[in-house]
């Protein structure tokens, strides 16, 4: 079996080569590079790819020659348009080291009979860890206290004074019970919290609900009962799922967290209710415009913890992903085991 892997600033060539060294029956034909060597530039590339798809950037010219003899193509952010697939007459699988599929022309892949294996779990643990971290940091004023001490102030009066609670016994509402939502549920087990989840794609008999003591509810119940609402959804059509109706249901003592995607939420209205203290606070990892503009209303708010969309950016989430995908592909080929994240 022959494979071509495309590196970028995040998914380094060494990660691919280290992975392929574990699979001597797979011949690595080459590792072309996509995009810039700048982290900031590549964040902009990723944003444009998510918005405009597989034709927003050209694939590396070298790729077209390398895939000619390839059975497998593995990418991260590199676009995979129809032209790349048609240049690879032997191509049997496309593997992508991310959860989003915007950089792949899925219609073309289906027409050409090329299955796609993807990996939304590649940074799932990293994001889940950050989510739990933000639950504590925002409700316990960690960032605000840090900032004050660094600036010579011993501060004791915070926006949530009189409403600083432990997580124990609180209700956590997860909007989305996919890979990351399940990981957050697992990590919350020792905290002795009540967990609610809402997800139209999850069945009430899903075994992970019982496994992690999660109650599946409708959105209105989740928003009205939760002490912390945490967003873990994603939609291919980029529609908003959290607007004025949902946010108005939240308790005045509640906290809102978004480590998923900004397009899911009415951020203008969220800023309004935070400014008017109709909810206690928020922690935001993602924004409609990134980098965050200087005129963002969240910068001036004292009841918000902000992080800069690096929640999934750990060495592990990139270095470990190629092996996961190769093993999933081999299990499919050798045992007929259908991968969890698979499109055909």
Q: Where are the domains of the chain?
A: 2-121+314-343, 124-306
Tell me the HSE value of 170 on the side-chain side, using a 13 A CA sphere.
21
Does domain 2-121+314-343 match CATH 3.40.50.300?
no
pLDDT at 313: 85
**Are the folds of 2-121+314-343 and 124-306 the same?**
yes
pLDDT at 317: 84
The backbone torsions φ and ψ at residue 101, rounded to the nearest 5 degrees and listed phi first, read: -115, 15
What is the C-alpha to C-alpha distance for residues 314 and 127, in angstroms, rounded to an integer?
Answer: 10
> 126 near 103, Cβ under 8 Å?
no
Give SS3 for 321: helix
What is the edge-to-edge ordering of all strands in the sheet holding 255-258? 214-216, 194-198, 171-175, 228-231, 255-258, 281-284, 304-306
Give the residues of the chain that fall short of pLDDT 70. none
What is the C-alpha to C-alpha distance for residues 166 and 163, in angstroms, rounded to an integer?
Answer: 10
> 168 near 192, Cβ under 8 Å?
yes
- If residue 75 lies in a helix (H) or strand (E), which one and from where to where? strand 72-75
pLDDT at 278: 98
Question: 224-261 as b/e, with b when 16 or more CB fall inside 10 Å?
Answer: ebbbbbbbbbbeeeeeebbeeebbebbbeebbbbbbbb
pLDDT at 204: 97
pLDDT at 236: 74
Active site residues: 261, 290, 309
254 alpha-carbon distance from chain centroid: 23
| C-alpha separations of 134 from 78, 129, 210 in Å | 31, 9, 25
What is the C-alpha to C-alpha distance for residues 102 and 53, in angstroms, rounded to an integer?
Answer: 5
238: region left, alpha or beta (phi > 0 left; psi from -120 to 50 alpha): left
> 83 near 55, Cβ under 8 Å?
no
What is the C-alpha to C-alpha distance for residues 5 and 140, in angstroms, rounded to an integer?
Answer: 44
- If residue 89 lies in a helix (H) or strand (E), which one and from where to where? none
Q: Which two tokens stand for residue 151?
A: 């600036």
Does domain 124-306 match CATH 3.40.50.720?
yes
Neighbours of 53 (CB within 10 A): 17
What is the C-alpha to C-alpha distance for residues 254 and 248, in angstroms, rounded to an integer?
Answer: 11
Sign of CA dihedral 163, 165, 171, 176: positive
pTM of the complete model: 0.82
Neighbouring residues of 319: CB distance < 8 A, sequence distance ≥ 6? 12, 15, 18
Neighbouring residues of 211: CB distance < 8 A, sequence distance ≥ 6? none
> 39 near 9, Cβ under 8 Å?
yes
pLDDT at 40: 85
pLDDT at 237: 81
What is the C-alpha to C-alpha distance for residues 95 and 236, in angstroms, rounded to an integer?
Answer: 18
What is the C-alpha to C-alpha distance for residues 245 and 100, in angstroms, rounded to an integer?
Answer: 28
CA-atom Rg of the chain in angstroms: 22
What is the DSSP secondary structure assignment for residue 255, as one 8-state letter?
A: E
321 alpha-carbon distance from chain centroid: 14
Tell me the HSE value of 46 on the side-chain side, using a 13 A CA sphere.
21
């Amino acid at each position: 079996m022959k494979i071509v892997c495309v590196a970028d600033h995040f998914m380094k060539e060494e990660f691919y080569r280290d992975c392929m060294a574990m699979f001597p029956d797979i011949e690595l034909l080459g590792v072309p590079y996509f995009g810039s060597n700048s982290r900031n530039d590549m964040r902009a590339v990723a944003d444009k790819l998510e918005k405009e798809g597989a034709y927003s950037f050209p694939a590396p010219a070298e790729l077209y020659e390398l895939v000619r003899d390839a059975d497998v193509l593995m990418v991260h952010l590199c676009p995979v348009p129809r032209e790349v697939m048609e240049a690879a007459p032997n191509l049997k699988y496309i593997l992508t080291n991310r959860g989003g599929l915007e950089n792949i022309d899925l219609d073309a892949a289906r027409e050409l009979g090329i299955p796609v294996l993807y990996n939304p779990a590649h940074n799932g643990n990293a994001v889940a860890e950050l989510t739990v971290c933000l639950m504590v940091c925002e409700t316990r004023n960690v960032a605000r206290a840090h900032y004050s001490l660094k600036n010579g102030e011993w501060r004791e009066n915070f926006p949530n004074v009189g409403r600083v609670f432990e997580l124990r016994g609180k209700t956590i509402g997860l909007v989305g019970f996919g890979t990351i939502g399940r990981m957050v549920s697992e990590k919350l087990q020792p905290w002795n919290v009540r967990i609610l989840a809402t997800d139209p794609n999850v069945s009430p008999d899903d075994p992970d609900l019982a496994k992690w003591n999660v109650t599946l509810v409708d959105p209105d119940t989740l928003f009205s009962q939760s002490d912390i609402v945490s967003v873990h959804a994603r939609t291919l059509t980029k529609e908003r799922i959290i607007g004025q109706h949902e946010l108005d249901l939240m308790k005045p003592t509640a906290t809102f967290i978004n480590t998923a995607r900004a397009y899911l939420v009415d951020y203008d209205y969220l800023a309004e209710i935070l400014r008017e203290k109709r909810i206690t606070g928020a922690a935001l990892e993602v924004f409609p415009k990134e980098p965050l503009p200087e005129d963002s209303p969240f910068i001036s708010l004292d009841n918000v913890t902000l992080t800069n969309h690096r929640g999934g950016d750990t060495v592990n989430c990139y270095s470990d992903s190629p092996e996961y995908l190769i093993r999933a592909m081999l299990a499919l080929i050798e045992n007929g085991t259908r991968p969890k994240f698979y499109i055909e």
